[in-house]
Structure 1
Amino acid sequence: MIAKDDAPLFTQFTTPESLPDGLAAALVDCWIEVSDAGGAAGFPFPPVDPAEVSAAVDRIVTGLDPASSRLVVATVDGALAGWLCLRRDTHPLVAHWGTLHHVQTRLGVRGRGIGAGLVRRARAIAREEMDLEQLRLAARGGVGLEEFYGRLGWREIGRWPGALRLAADDDRDEILMVLTSL
């Protein structure tokens, strides 16, 4: 458990070689924990297969590039508390906007502002380092993510009703959100 007075440290990684030993494994552990608890972070059907999660983390890490893909992590006392991916397509038609992916925090640190801190840090990186003008994301409806992102300045720009089928009797909207004032 993390003490309440321990402030998170936010760090970004821009190349595969920049990741410290053990971070990829910590990302896998966090993603499994969040997904198995029902989190909306890319693996919607718990329990998740650790090999699939590990392969997804490998794809994220090997795709890191300062121009197009950044990993932002939050640590507390050296332990991973949360993470997200910030990406952009470098095609000139859409290179002015980026997307957030896999925003997540470990269960034991929720309610401490770490998720909000990650999103704010990604916003600063997008504006100051990647020269982006807007960010987009897609979120699962029905779990309060609209409100979470709304408090951080994001606005809903649309939704696909019933786009996400979590179970035979559980369809959720996919909510499309944008942050235009970076």
Structure 2
Amino acid sequence: MSVRFDLDPSVTPELRDGICSLWADVSNAGGAVGFVPPVTGEDIRPELIRHLAAMAEGRARLVVGRDADGTPLATAFLYENTHRLMRHWLWVYSVMVHPSLQGQGVGRALMAAVEDAARGTEGIRAIRLTCRGGTGADRFYASCGYKEVGRVPDAIKVGDDDYRDDVTMWHELH
């Protein structure tokens, strides 16, 4: 399947609802994107609205991958760091690829689009993100050029007696 990536698309009701649906699908398939299944779009909507508000305020950017019909299949939100000593790198949040497309190169294409967006932002030298340990996400990001620079053991609680590490990954833009 062909996926087209766009930076800073117009946020229409269709795009908003499509991202909300994508996020629920990823979460319910076990994806580590801030929720534990089962979830509905209504569970996710407040978090999505926070990202969209940050976009409207100029604090965040969106990379979205869509199919030929415009259905969102992959996303990542980029945030400029507001700390005056750390404005040379971006945070990346809510990296997701629809479960039906995982393992087909769409994730790598998404991360390449994120890197392109970061390179196009004046003064940005690196990208930082965190991921949930025990999911394999850290291995995926490492294969995309990120290196692990920190780990907080048991920082994420996903269930009774199920704690995961919070892994910080860093990618230098050369």
Same fold (TM over 0.5): yes
Residue type of the partner of 1:36?
N
- 1:165 to partner: Cα distance: 1.7
Give the structure-1-normalised TM-score: 0.87
2:170 — aligned with what? 178
What is the correspondence of 1:75-94 to structure 2 with a 5 Å cutoff?
A: 75-77=66-68, 78-94=70-86
| Residues 67, 130 of structure 1: 8 Å contact kept | no
Give the structure-2-normalised TM-score: 0.91
Q: 2:7 aligns with which of 7, 12, 20?
A: 12
Instruction: Report Cα offsets for 1:60-103 as digits up to 9, x if no partner.
Output: 11211595310110012222111110111234221111111000
| In 1, Cα distance between equivalents of 2:6 and 2:162 | 36
1:28 — aligned with what? 20
| In 2, Cα distance between equivalents of 1:146 and 1:181 | 18
1:102 — aligned with what? 94
| Residues 13, 71 of structure 1: 8 Å contact kept | yes
3-state secondary structure, aligned to 1:90: coil
**Please, which runs of 5 or more residues in structure 2 have no aligned partner?**
none
1:40 — aligned with what? 32
1:64 — aligned with what? 55
| In 2, Cα distance between equivalents of 1:53 and 1:92 | 31
Residue type of the partner of 1:116?
R
- In structure 2, do the counterparts of structure 1 residues 8 and 124 end up closer, same or farther at CA, with 3 Å as the change threshold? same
Paired residues in the alignment total: 173
Q: 2:132 aligns with which of 127, 133, 140?
A: 140
Please say if 1:51 is aligned against 2:42: yes
**Please, which runs of 5 or more residues in structure 1 have no aligned partner?**
1-5
Q: CA RMSD in A?
A: 1.8
1:112 — aligned with what? 104
| In 2, Cα distance between equivalents of 1:131 and 1:50 | 36
- In structure 2, do the counterparts of structure 1 residues 60 and 130 end up closer, same or farther at CA, with 3 Å as the change threshold? farther
- In structure 2, do the counterparts of structure 1 residues 129 and 66 end up closer, same or farther at CA, with 3 Å as the change threshold? farther
- In structure 2, do the counterparts of structure 1 residues 123 and 148 end up closer, same or farther at CA, with 3 Å as the change threshold? same
Residue type of the partner of 1:11?
D
| In 1, Cα distance between equivalents of 2:105 and 2:67 | 12
| In 2, Cα distance between equivalents of 1:49 and 1:75 | 21
1:123 — aligned with what? 115
| Residues 15, 71 of structure 2: 8 Å contact kept | no
Q: Which moved more, 1:101-110 or 1:53-62?
A: 53-62
